[in-house]
Structure 1
Amino acid sequence: MQQYSQPIVKDLVLIGGGHSHAIVLRMFGMQPLSGVRLTLITPASDTPYSGMLPGHIAGFYSHDECHIDLRRLTNFAQAQLYIDQVVDLDLNNHKVICANRPAVDFDVLSIDIGSTPATISIPGAAEYAIAAKPVPKLLQYWYHLLTKVAKNPQEAICIGIVGGGAGGVELALTMQTHLHQILHQNQQPIKNLEIHLFQRHEELMPHYHQSVQRLVKQILTKRGIKLHLGETVCEIAPQYQEIFEIKCESGLTINCHKIFWVTQASAPQWLKKTGLGTDEKGFILVKDTLQSQTHPEVFAAGDIATMVNHPRPKAGVFAVRQGKPLFENLQRFLLGKSLKPYKPQQQYLSLIGTGDKRAIATRGAFTLAPHQLLWRWKDWIDRRFMERFSEGLGTSDWGLGIRKEFSQHPISSTQSPLMRCAGCGSKVGSTVLEKVLSRIQQEQPIAKDREDIIIGLDAPDDAAVVQIPTDQLLVQTIDYFRTLINDPYIFGQISANHCLSDIFAMGATPQSVLAIATIPYAAPAKVEETLYQLVSGAVKVLNQAQAPLIGGHTSEGTELAFGLACNGLAYPNKLLRKSGMQPGQVLILTKALGTGILFAAEMRRLAKGHWIDNAVESMLLSNQAAAACLLQHGATACTDVTGFGLLGHLMEMVQASHVAVELQLAGIPVLAGAIETAQKGIFSSLQPENLQASRYIQNRLQVESHLNYPLLFDPQTAGGLLASIPEEQANHCLAALQALGYEHSCLIGCITPPVMTQPITLIDK
């Protein structure tokens, strides 16, 4: 994760993971700027490459082949990755407003969020049509349609595509190719599929030369795609059994099962409210330097930007070409240097796939008819572009011509980290701390109503004071570790879940917590921002657990770290201990394993983004509801699976309870990507120590080749609960857990009478 050799003094925030920003991130990774903290805010951890997207629809490329992995890319760039939707900008206070997290501060901002189809005010379009953008939603509907056709290939299907530009034409051809393939595989006639393409103009692809228009029309007609030229769609209305009627101004009506909307591009509505200068369609107006006309600290590129002096069509080729000049001007602006103007080319070569592994080549009036060689050329260009963001990440400049002119010019700071003091001199300043705590107190109103908290955050005393009921036991635990993810808000939530799990596993109710945080060296305002994001994330979880933050300690260091000391209360007769397992009971595990292995791979930039997404989703799931559910179903022993791995924590229970266990090795839930990563020999640094527990396995030599075996020793962060319950309660308990959102919860073994040595038996079924 991030380690800062220079104090952070500037925040560069990128909104959107478009082509230009992907290149900017890669170039920052190869030429970092000391003292600058780089943050990417984007709705998903991967971003589609427009050049290969039609081929993906046609079935020629896998999802991974045509998507840039933004987790891997931001890891390489040493950037923070915030998975969220931007909904507004506060330009006066230099803040980005997000849908699901606190506002994000910036000194310099760059926007590359692409465009959306213009649905305008056509009745029914927003409700019943599938927009071509955002692409993830389009692909979600497309995958669902493919599955449906594969399951019922004998059923007729009619698809309507509104928009006869390049996007609509390619979508029609590629969808037909993939669906025809499914029909052929199932020995069904291709007449079961009908595709209608609606275009308000008399010609297809109106921004292209007439030779291209004629050629495309011939291809679509020959392929049996029904063209409705000069037809303006005016309404989409539901009919019956998932049938929708497309109505045109001419009176033409067509019934379709699915309708895809691929009209001309428009800008998100929220941009118009920000105060940024925009054109009549809402796109950000930028100078030749890619700076906003109205706000020099804001840059924009790709489809969302309109160059005032050089307007160009909204095409991916321009976004790619803007990547390098955007990077250079962002660095120049941060360093206080003069910016360089950029002039895009007037004409460019288009290679338009026809859905059959052929492509049309066109540049201006020059056009070549579809040919396999043109497709191979396009495929080579696209794959070479994608290689920059995969295995070859950072190995060369791949023709980008990165200059090293700024590498020796860090952003100025008043103090070097070598001059930072230790001991109490490393504490976060009182002014910063006071500001953060003031904001945090507003986020946890539960603390004001708690009579048992005598002294908390609202009092400047040396320690917090809590009153303990006389009839309950005080349960205490502490955890603290370095960040494993480049997002302090998410890290705060993960840490809080991890630390509270010990309280839940004991059958206790959390009451209050103390925090300890190490914040990377930075200017005071940057320390405040990081600390606030971190603690705000933790408080979000603590509020749900009704356990207010009442104090803590902060210091500065080279990297972000966080932990909590948690207090809980339990009635003596309801306390869960590791020693409570009984023969005849069964073992329930509430979460899948694999976080240690996956984040070890993430540190090496070898994990896929969606693997880490799944791991983060698991770690953000609190164990509170699971603990209550297990208690309701008669749990007598419980522990949380964390640093010592499943087998290490299970052995603590076995030894304390004086029992043996038969473990269903094949039934243990595992996170996506964990087995694949383990097969490559990638493990957490704690794995070798955890392997010492293998000496307790009776049949180790017979099962150690099983794919799940290495996961038994994988250290977990914010892992699940492991509990023993009566066998007759197992089915009801699992059903209840899964209804609560613990979808990976399962029965993984049974408790047997004690044995003298090697009490663990692995059942390989």
Structure 2
Amino acid sequence: MQVSEQPVLRDLVLVGGGHSHVVVLRMLAMQPEPGLRTTLICTDVDTPYSGMLPGYISGHYSFDDVHIDLGRLAAFAKARFIRAEVTGLDRANQRVMLRGRPSVPYDLLSINTGSTPNVRQVEGAQAHSVPVKPIAQFNQRWLNLLARVRELQTPLTVAVVGGGAGGVELVLSMQYRLRHELQALGRSPDLLRFVLLTAGDTILPTHNPGVRARFARVLHDRGVAVHTHAEVTKVTPGCLHTQDGRRFDTDETLWVTQAGGPAWLPSTGLALDAHGFIHINEHLQTLTDPNIFAAGDVASFTARPLEKAGVFAVRMGPPLARNLRQALRGQPLVAYTPQRRWLALISTGDRFAVASRGRLGFAGAWVWRWKDRIDRRFMRQFTELPAMAPARPGAAPPSRLALSADESRQAISAIAMRCGGCGAKVGASILTRALGSLQPVQRDDVLIGLHAPDDAAVVRVPPGQAMVHTVDFFRSFIDDPYLFGQVAANHALGDIFAMGAQAQSATAIATVPPGLEAQVEDLLLQMMTGAVEVLNAAGCALVGGHTGEGRELALGFAVNGHIDEDMHGVQRNGGTRPGDVLLLTKPIGTGTLFAAHAQHAAKGRWIDAALRSMVLSNQAGARVLREHGATACTDLTGFGLLGHLVEMTRPSGVDAVLHLSALPVLDGAVECVQAGIVSSLQPANVRLRRALRNAEAFVQDPRYPLLFDPQTAGGLLASVPADQANACVQALHAAGYPHTAIIGRISGATDALEPVVLSG
């Protein structure tokens, strides 16, 4: 979680992680704008650099070589990163609508989502072809095709629809890679056949005749069948149908033509061109709304048509960043002047490239090496991030942000010295508005709660039931308040489920940083919406709480549950028995991963995977464990795996044998601890190493430090009878815990002071 000394005065929202926006994020990181909260919304964590994608397909680059890590870049820029799908805009209230979660407010909005082949316009294309964008979806299909070719025994035809530079590069790169894959396996590359179809009368229509002729020769020499005047009007399984009645058999079809804007744009009321792209002026503002900007492929430059090429998106980045600043400050905007001619470096798949600029054209292996140097230099801006983002002299103070008179008065209040005691509570009107849209689950045993607020909640204890109480509270470690609310609620419910109890009610305690009322209200709405969704799914009613101001966003819950009064079914820590098997339902590593995230050292996809694990409820897992006779159970939290295992073994007077190699581990966790990055709580947990009988033999094992790694919303650690273990693991996998593993066993007691034995 990024902590700022400045209250939030303005919201800048960037929709899409395209080339222009990554430049904007880096520039904002190097020169922060005080009082500005930046939010990046994107469906993917990794965004591809289009200039290097053909090299990735050819096998010259790895996935990480050609992708910019948006999660890491956003953290570096102190921007919130929200991984979500945009469904529209509420321009009247200046909010971005998202699928499955609350909308996000903006003062300024910028759109850089790129373009997508519009397969919906051709019958059957959506069902029977693979659009090359969005790249994340295409990449999975490409990996599937690679795997298919490696098992290939019969001929296979690959068709590419689209004769521009993208289609030509794609077919040549795929052919180069797939033929080499077959050759490496000792099979004939002639099993593969490639076809390129274009509706025009030539390939590469925007390039000069010499460049077109050179690529025509390359395609001919490589055996790629090129068909011009072949406008595909229908796609059926295994066949492409063209307007002139021709049919082309194909086993795999890639679509690189008829690009359009996102499907949600027409509903926004923004002026769009015939292809669904946003009309923008020379300042990169939309013609319809001065508070909305657009850049890259999704933008249609009204001064003159621009080709959908990455070079324009990259060069729009600096003027876009400057104009966003100027608009926030209420200052004049600068004009973007696109170059009339640009250098295109088009690869042929085999570390050879052709340069095209106007009437000029030249080629060679040296051109590919030149292109490689240019591309790698661009990518280093986003992979080799400075240790910290310095504020350059002359950065605008908060007062230079353009505020209305009413907002200025609020800003003065927000910046002034804050009161303590009850004076630090969040205002009643803000709370009423923020929480008014929440709909906590209704329970008959909640007599007084949020549906009828009073000084305290009143809940009925069901007959024959005993109450179970727990509390958890921590500050935010991510910048997405909705996800943080989900994790915090899930973490608080963990103890209830681990005990075998049913959650009944929860009271919340939250701190939020001071700021303008609108920003504080939205922050509360986002966070509590995420939390209430988790509580409702557990059948747990939010009945009240307390919200105050603090330097950092933080959230916790006191949760009440109930269980049979005779304690039947209670799953305690201390019920383990010799011969039991140890199970763990979720992978470990959240502590080191989020410590690395705070240092901009964790990959965005590692953090994304960790969050998916953290929002996975333990409720179903606890039920499965009870059904399979679990003798003891606990949820993994701050004490780490070893700390919680000791809590299980010592009360029972038993030992445990723990298999390090069997531990399920989150992606990136081993890399982070090997880099020396650990949670601030880790040193305290390491003191428990005295519980290990033979630690010396395993200290060099890369998973050893993860024994002490504190977990947030971790999985369930349980002991089950040996004859139930395999069935229990299978049931947990089926219940949505795919990483569940047998990690050890319980042995007889030998020395209560050394209860854990490690094994490889």
**TM-score between the two structures when normalised by the length of structure 2:** 0.97
Aligned equivalents of 1:469, 1:164: Cα separation in 2: 70
**1:6–1:416 contact (8 Å) kept in structure 2:** no
Partner of 1:366: 360
Aligned equivalents of 1:330, 1:311: Cα separation in 2: 23
**2:646–2:756 contact (8 Å) kept in structure 1:** no
**1:491–1:537 contact (8 Å) kept in structure 2:** yes
Partner of 1:316: 310
Please list the CA deviations of residues 108-158 of structure 1 after superposition, one character each: whole Å capped at 9, or x if unmatched: 1110000111325322111100001111111110011111212x1433221
Please list the CA deviations of residues 698-748 of structure 1 after superposition, one character each: whole Å capped at 9, or x if unmatched: 111112221211111000000000111111110110000000110110111
Q: Structure 1 93/395 Cα, relative in aligned 2: closer, same or farther at 3 Å?
A: closer
Q: Structure 1 404/170 Cα, relative in aligned 2: closer, same or farther at 3 Å?
A: farther
How many residue pairs were aligned? 749
Partner of 1:218: 217
Partner of 1:407: 396
Q: Residue 325 of structure 1 is aligned with which of 316, 319, 330?
A: 319
User: C-alpha displacement at 1:664, in angstroms?
Assistant: 1.2
**2:690–2:754 contact (8 Å) kept in structure 1:** no
User: C-alpha displacement at 1:269, in angstroms?
Assistant: 2.4
User: Are 1:143 and 2:136 an aligned pair?
Assistant: no
Aligned equivalents of 1:417, 1:577: Cα separation in 2: 49
Q: Structure 1 565/761 Cα, relative in aligned 2: closer, same or farther at 3 Å?
A: closer
- Paired letter, 2:648: M
For the residue of structure 2 that corresponds to 1:204, the secondary structure is: coil
Aligned equivalents of 1:436, 1:202: Cα separation in 2: 59
Aligned equivalents of 1:275, 1:182: Cα separation in 2: 49
- Paired letter, 2:720: I
- Paired letter, 2:428: S
For the residue of structure 1 that corresponds to 2:230, the secondary structure is: coil
User: C-alpha displacement at 1:650, in angstroms?
Assistant: 0.7
User: Are 1:44 and 2:44 an aligned pair?
Assistant: yes
User: Are 1:533 and 2:526 an aligned pair?
Assistant: yes
Most deviating of 18-27 and 416-425: 416-425
**2:749–2:755 contact (8 Å) kept in structure 1:** no
User: C-alpha displacement at 1:758, in angstroms?
Assistant: 4.2
**1:514–1:552 contact (8 Å) kept in structure 2:** yes
Q: Structure 1 598/201 Cα, relative in aligned 2: closer, same or farther at 3 Å?
A: same
- Paired letter, 1:682: I
Aligned equivalents of 1:52, 1:407: Cα separation in 2: 37
- Paired letter, 1:514: T
Instruction: Report matched runs for 1:523-562 at 5 Å.
Output: 523-562=516-555
- Paired letter, 1:146: L
For the residue of structure 2 that corresponds to 1:693, the secondary structure is: helix
Instruction: Report matched runs for 1:234-313 at 5 Å.
Output: 234-238=233-237, 244-313=238-307
Q: Structure 1 578/403 Cα, relative in aligned 2: closer, same or farther at 3 Å?
A: closer
Please list the CA deviations of residues 70-90 of structure 1 after superposition, one character each: whole Å capped at 9, or x if unmatched: 011110111111001101111
User: C-alpha displacement at 1:759, in angstroms?
Assistant: 3.5
- Paired letter, 1:307: F
User: C-alpha displacement at 1:409, in angstroms?
Assistant: 4.9
Q: Residue 334 of structure 2 is aligned with which of 340, 346, 366?
A: 340
Aligned equivalents of 2:453, 2:459: Cα separation in 1: 15
Aligned equivalents of 2:561, 2:655: Cα separation in 1: 30
For the residue of structure 2 that corresponds to 1:367, the secondary structure is: strand
Partner of 1:420: 418
Q: Residue 619 of structure 2 is aligned with which of 603, 624, 635?
A: 624
User: C-alpha displacement at 1:280, in angstroms?
Assistant: 1.6
Q: Residue 746 of structure 2 is aligned with which of 739, 744, 751?
A: 751
User: C-alpha displacement at 1:757, in angstroms?
Assistant: 4.2
For the residue of structure 2 that corresponds to 1:102, the secondary structure is: strand
Aligned equivalents of 1:576, 1:493: Cα separation in 2: 25
User: Are 1:54 and 2:54 an aligned pair?
Assistant: yes
Aligned equivalents of 2:460, 2:515: Cα separation in 1: 38
User: C-alpha displacement at 1:470, in angstroms?
Assistant: 3.8
User: Are 1:184 and 2:174 an aligned pair?
Assistant: no
Aligned equivalents of 1:394, 1:727: Cα separation in 2: 50
Please list the CA deviations of residues 510-565 of structure 1 after superposition, one character each: whole Å capped at 9, or x if unmatched: 00101111112210111000000000000111111010111001111222111111
- Paired letter, 1:481: F
Aligned equivalents of 1:658, 1:161: Cα separation in 2: 67
Aligned equivalents of 2:639, 2:352: Cα separation in 1: 55
**1:703–1:762 contact (8 Å) kept in structure 2:** no
User: Are 1:7 and 2:2 an aligned pair?
Assistant: no
**2:693–2:758 contact (8 Å) kept in structure 1:** no
Partner of 1:652: 647
For the residue of structure 1 that corresponds to 2:121, the secondary structure is: coil
Partner of 2:19: 19
- Paired letter, 1:729: Q
Aligned equivalents of 1:451, 1:268: Cα separation in 2: 45
Q: Residue 429 of structure 2 is aligned with which of 428, 431, 439?
A: 431
User: C-alpha displacement at 1:679, in angstroms?
Assistant: 1.0
For the residue of structure 2 that corresponds to 1:419, the secondary structure is: coil
Partner of 1:241: none
Aligned equivalents of 1:603, 1:618: Cα separation in 2: 19
**1:47–1:69 contact (8 Å) kept in structure 2:** yes
Partner of 1:713: 708
**1:172–1:197 contact (8 Å) kept in structure 2:** yes
Instruction: Report matched runs for 1:117-132 at 5 Å.
Output: 117-119=117-119, 121-132=121-132
Partner of 2:726: 731
For the residue of structure 2 that corresponds to 1:454, the secondary structure is: strand
For the residue of structure 1 that corresponds to 2:51, the secondary structure is: coil
User: C-alpha displacement at 1:576, in angstroms?
Assistant: 1.3
User: C-alpha displacement at 1:579, in angstroms?
Assistant: 1.4
Aligned equivalents of 1:148, 1:758: Cα separation in 2: 55
User: C-alpha displacement at 1:403, in angstroms?
Assistant: 7.9
**2:465–2:563 contact (8 Å) kept in structure 1:** yes
- Paired letter, 1:162: V
Most deviating of 44-53 and 746-755: 746-755
Partner of 1:174: 173
**1:30–1:394 contact (8 Å) kept in structure 2:** no
User: C-alpha displacement at 1:653, in angstroms?
Assistant: 1.1
- Paired letter, 2:734: A
Partner of 1:381: 374
**TM-score between the two structures when normalised by the length of structure 1:** 0.96
Aligned equivalents of 2:490, 2:148: Cα separation in 1: 39
Instruction: Report matched runs for 1:29-108 at 5 Å.
Output: 29-108=29-108
Instruction: Report matched runs for 1:693-712 at 5 Å.
Output: 693-712=688-707
Q: Structure 1 661/67 Cα, relative in aligned 2: closer, same or farther at 3 Å?
A: same
**2:490–2:615 contact (8 Å) kept in structure 1:** yes
- Paired letter, 2:208: H
- Paired letter, 1:601: A
Please list the CA deviations of residues 668-708 of structure 1 after superposition, one character each: whole Å capped at 9, or x if unmatched: 11111111111111111111110111101111111222121
Question: Gapped runs of 5+ residues in structure 1?
Answer: 239-243
**2:353–2:364 contact (8 Å) kept in structure 1:** yes
Please list the CA deviations of residues 335-362 of structure 1 after superposition, one character each: whole Å capped at 9, or x if unmatched: 1111111111111011111101011011
Aligned equivalents of 2:413, 2:6: Cα separation in 1: 9
Partner of 2:512: 519
Structure 1 residue runs of 4+, over 4 Å off?
393-397, 402-405
- Paired letter, 1:737: L
**1:645–1:714 contact (8 Å) kept in structure 2:** yes
Most deviating of 458-467 and 476-485: 458-467
For the residue of structure 2 that corresponds to 1:414, the secondary structure is: helix
